[in-house]
């Protein structure tokens, strides 16, 4: 099998390529600019992949408010180009999406969103991802996999994510202010990648329907609780203060509640998604092992 993984230099794309091994053909913008439709179509015709997993995305949520055209070029128009190419080849398209497609409905939500709940995006980035889903769904054999707050294995030193940022800031000795009123489920990339690969295989074998799936870790938390648990697991004493979203003052709106229901995925019998506390503990254990090895190598 030959699977084209776009956005292969991102943390999810890298992990998918690692888990797929020789079956993966990983490309990023330096080798395949998805905003250049003729080049994309030519590449697909020449390589004829058996499936496309699109991890490429404009993910700078706040900057998207200032650059809506650039955001939509990647998150909507490029998806349309891939979808057109996949229809021509008759190959499946897996579109990676986000919990941010929810959160804009009336009233405060307290129950996890199911796959058939209507999207209610807030802001340019969220709207672009919701629109990208609709475009991907024009391919007969499509998967739309929504996840949340991705963080890679700490061995992926190029990954930019919340735990890595918290550890970096803590090492600088700064007091930290972290938002406490956005409920979601940060998710560990190795588990999300395994779920995506399982879903694609199951759908291709006819063991599960094509369509939308949620793939996050289990449970729910907020970013302040998540940071506090991170530091507790590593026995770090950090001055940590909870703040509200309005105090943070980000240009783009964020969902107050965007927890995703994963029961549809789990009913298929895929690799289990751990509770977020367990996944975070696995991350910290790996992080400590890597840093102990590094300290030993440097005589520390």
Asked whether residue 300 carries a pLDDT value surpassing 60, the answer given is: no
pTM of the model: 0.95
Domain ranges in the chain are 3-159+187-217+261-273
pLDDT tens track for 215-268: 999 999 999 999 999 999 999 999 999 999 999 889 999 999 999 999 999 999
Asked whether residue 293 carries a pLDDT value surpassing 90, the answer given is: no
Asked whether residue 79 carries a pLDDT value surpassing 90, the answer given is: yes
Q: Tokens at residue 1, please? A: 């099998």
- Evaluate whether 58 touches 125 at the Cβ level (below 8 Å): yes
Question: Residue range 27-32: average pLDDT?
Answer: 89
What pLDDT, on the 0 to 100 scale, is given for residue 106? 64
Q: Work out the percent of the chain whose per-residue pLDDT is above 90.
A: 90
Asked whether residue 37 carries a pLDDT value surpassing 80, the answer given is: yes
Question: Residue range 92-107: average pLDDT?
Answer: 90
Cα–Cα distance measured from residue 165 to residue 159, given in angstroms and rounded to the nearest whole number: 10
Asked whether residue 105 carries a pLDDT value surpassing 90, the answer given is: no
Q: Tokens at residue 159, please? A: 């990954």
Cα–Cα distance measured from residue 100 to residue 103, given in angstroms and rounded to the nearest whole number: 7
Which whole-number Å values give the CA distances from 261 to 84, 215, 299, in the listed order? 30, 8, 47
Average pLDDT in the chain:
94
Name, in order, each residue with C-beta under 8 angstroms of 209's C-beta and a sequence gap of 6 or more.
203
What pLDDT, on the 0 to 100 scale, is given for residue 21? 97
Q: What pairs with residue 257 in β-bridges?
A: 183
Q: In the structure, what pLDDT confidence band is assigned to residue 23 with cuts at 50, 70 and 90?
A: very high
Burial-class residue 145 by CB neighbours within 10 Å (0-12, 13-18, 19+): buried
Asked whether residue 291 carries a pLDDT value surpassing 80, the answer given is: no
- Evaluate whether 53 touches 6 at the Cβ level (below 8 Å): yes
Name, in order, each residue with C-beta under 8 angstroms of 200's C-beta and a sequence gap of 6 or more.
3, 51, 53, 92, 94, 143
Which whole-number Å values give the CA distances from 138 to 79, 80, 81, 84, 117, in the listed order? 10, 9, 11, 9, 19
> Could you list the active site residues?
125
Of the listed ranges 16-25, 29-38, 47-56, 124-133, the one predicted with least confidence: 29-38
Q: In the structure, what pLDDT confidence band is assigned to residue 272 with cuts at 50, 70 and 90?
A: very high
Q: In the structure, what pLDDT confidence band is assigned to residue 129 with cuts at 50, 70 and 90?
A: very high
In CATH, the architecture of 3-159+187-217+261-273 is: 3-Layer(aba) Sandwich (3.40)
Q: In the structure, what pLDDT confidence band is assigned to residue 145 with cuts at 50, 70 and 90?
A: very high
């Amino acid at each position: 099998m030959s699977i084209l993984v776009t956005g292969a230099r991102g943390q999810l794309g890298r992990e998918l390529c690692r888990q797929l091994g020789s079956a993966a053909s990983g490309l990023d913008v330096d080798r395949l600019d998805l905003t250049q439709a003729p080049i994309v179509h030519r590449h697909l015709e020449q390589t004829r992949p058996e499936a496309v997993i699109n991890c490429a995305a404009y993910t700078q949520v706040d900057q998207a408010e200032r650059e809506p055209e650039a955001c939509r070029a990647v998150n909507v128009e490029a998806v349309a180009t891939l979808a057109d190419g996949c229809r021509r080849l008759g190959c499946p398209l897996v579109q990676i999406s986000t919990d941010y497609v929810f959160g804009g409905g009336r009233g405060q939500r307290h129950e996890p969103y199911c796959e058939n709940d209507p999207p209610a995006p807030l802001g340019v980035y969220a709207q672009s991802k919701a629109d990208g889903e609709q475009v991907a769904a024009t391919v007969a054999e499509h998967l739309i996999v929504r996840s949340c707050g991705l963080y890679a294995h700490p061995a992926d030193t190029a990954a930019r994510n919340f735990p890595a940022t918290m550890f970096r800031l803590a090492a600088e000795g700064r007091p930290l202010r972290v938002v406490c009123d956005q409920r979601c489920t940060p998710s560990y990339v190795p588990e999300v990648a395994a779920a995506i690969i399982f879903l694609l295989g199951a759908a291709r074998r006819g063991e599960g329907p094509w369509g939308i799936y949620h793939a996050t870790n289990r449970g729910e938390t907020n970013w302040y609780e998540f940071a506090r648990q991170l530091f507790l697991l590593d026995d770090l004493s950090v001055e940590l203060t909870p703040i509200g979203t309005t105090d943070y003052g980000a240009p783009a709106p964020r969902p107050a509640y965007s927890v995703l229901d994963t029961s549809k995925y789990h009913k298929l019998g895929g690799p289990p998604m751990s509770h977020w506390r367990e996944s975070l503990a696995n991350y910290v254990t790996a992080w400590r092992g890597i840093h102990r090895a590094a300290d030993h190598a440097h005589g520390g």
